[in-house]
Chains A and B, each alone.
Chain A
């Protein structure tokens, strides 16, 4: 079960599971998640609330609450700066802390709550640089100004003494990106980084991330619920539902020939920006996102699925099968559905 780290992998996640124990019983927030991220690649994690996409990133960063409230099992391997394989879940806390921010960095959805309101922008960027790289104060502030310039903040020198409330949401997210990039990470985990932003600002931030990635060659795990954003930035996509990966494919294959009925339904239900669209009913997925404390037996999507076979789909959890070399699907019926059986 434990395999060696693939030679071309930057991050390799095997059978990752996260369980929360609380008064209401145990919640399996994440089950059997396995994937790899190669250097320079963008992998999108797509899912709705409760799908486990954010928990995946927190578990990789070891930022989930401590046991006994929360238990993380499985294996997360990261390629270190010298090419060594690091077992993140087994690493001493100290070593993990020095990896965070330097080898793997993370940006969050809400740039207002992620920045400290009583420290200047300059102090917050300088802190990240000083902790991981050290150096004289003047040199650190120079580096901070350079980073602000890199992420497209005008008058970077003057901005160093600004406080977060002086900046707009888009500018704050740029500051967060500057902090994340301060130590030249090999992997950036971006958890809904544009969800709180306006579309015109979202376009700016996506463009910025793309240019930075080209320049630094970092890999990105991009967590989002927005399929439009996925179509734009991802190389590969993992679709999550109720704590499991239900489909994984290169971007084009996922959008053009989705195999899991959930993915297909999601793609059909999203309104498109079309001249001809007016007042046509959308193809909605019926039902609700399942409650993680009360998951249905078998395939978690079965109660909402138009292709469900009662007695089969709700009997046992389907395995994640290899449909194409790079296309995985968790559906008992993917073969009938792919071969054109309509419905």
Chain B
């Protein structure tokens, strides 16, 4: 599914460490925000990246786009290694990979009209095209995301959160990228608006055959949008599988705990809830071996020994848990 020529993005052993602390007489320590993450995304495929805050999912998205410099590993986009490309060499590649932000209030310049905001990528990447052509493409893109061309004259503050998110999506799509990183694109929106934006993204991925890295903490949303899901915890991948397979047959205790903790809008739900104790440990001093073992109810002494590698347990199904004897609860 993700091999060969159809692969649009291939991330291998990606690491992003931040140096924190340190001073004249103290050495700094490494905060391992992302520590050896590998995955690939096929053309037109949507991969969900789920995890709690501090799991490193946003850092993965930013590092892939080279908005943060990777500490190690490699990123191949359309077969080309972009891990160490210069800013100048990255330019033509950036046209093909774009980002949608979480907060539609902070990510639009309040002094620019919506038309200018959406036109900005065109001005940077396609300076040769004339004003008329630019305006035509902006108008077309506004229509694509469910706004009207007349909205181009207005400013961001005149729009609601959902409409602003549509503007953010229009800006990301105006260069016709084939890969999009959507970082929590609906988390800041009102409940009744979230479904609109989810439907828009679903519609756009079909119409434009977009590949997407869909970053979210909400497993229910991810289940609706993604073809495959990767679960992250403390900078590492815990599990990765096709969506239906992951939901029906989770093979990592952390995935099970996430399913169990997700509030279900069903008043008669009778699931036995697994309540994880404690908080996500510090990424400066992560537990040895499996990073989840300190909160895992199935942990064995062996879990502390070495970092469990991702291993195949079914078609396209990888887990970083050493135990095969667990009967984990599915999503529903």
Contacts and interface: CB of A to CB of B under 8 A. Distances in A.
Contacts of A199: 52, 217, 219, 258, 261-263
A271 B220 contact: yes
Interface stretch (B73-81, B122-130, B264-272): B264-272
Contact of B258 (A200, A254, A279): A200
B261 A202 contact: yes
B135 interface: no
B269 A269 contact: no
B192 A48 contact: yes
B264 A203 contact: no
A201 interface: yes
A33 to B, nearest CB: 20
Given A226-B263, A279-B224, A270 B196 contact: no
Contacts of A170: 279
A228 B52 CA distance: 18
Interface string B172-197: 00000000000000000011111110
Contacts, number: 161
A289 interface: yes
A286 B203 CA distance: 16
A266 B191 contact: yes
Given A202-B263, A231-B263, A273-B264, A278 B243 contact: yes
Nearest to A280: B224
B331 to A, nearest CB: 5
Interface string A252-288: 1011100000000111011111111111111111101
A169 B54 CA distance: 11
A57 to B, nearest CB: 19
A342 B191 CA distance: 24
A281 B227 CA distance: 14
A90 to B, nearest CB: 35
B262 A168 contact: no
B225 interface: yes
Contacts of A289: 160, 190, 192-193
A288 B160 contact: yes
A53 B174 CA distance: 38
A41 to B, nearest CB: 16
A227 B258 CA distance: 17
Given A203-B275, A232-B263, A281-B199, A274 B331 contact: yes
A12 B260 CA distance: 36
A204 interface: yes
A19 interface: no
Nearest to A46: B191
Contacts of B280: 168, 198
Contacts of A228: 262-265
B58 to A, nearest CB: 14
Nearest to A224: B263
Given A273-B264, A288-B160, 7 more contacts: A198-B280, A199-B262, A226-B191, A267-B265, A270-B191, A270-B220, A284-B195
Interface of B: 52-53, 160-163, 190-196, 198-199, 202-203, 217-221, 223-227, 243-244, 247-248, 257-269, 273, 275-277, 279-280, 330-332
24 contacts: A170-B279, A198-B52, A198-B280, A199-B52, A200-B261, A203-B276, A204-B277, A207-B273, A226-B263, A228-B265, A231-B267, A232-B263, A251-B267, A254-B267, A270-B265, A271-B224, A272-B264, A274-B247, A277-B220, A278-B223, A279-B225, A288-B163, A289-B190, A289-B192
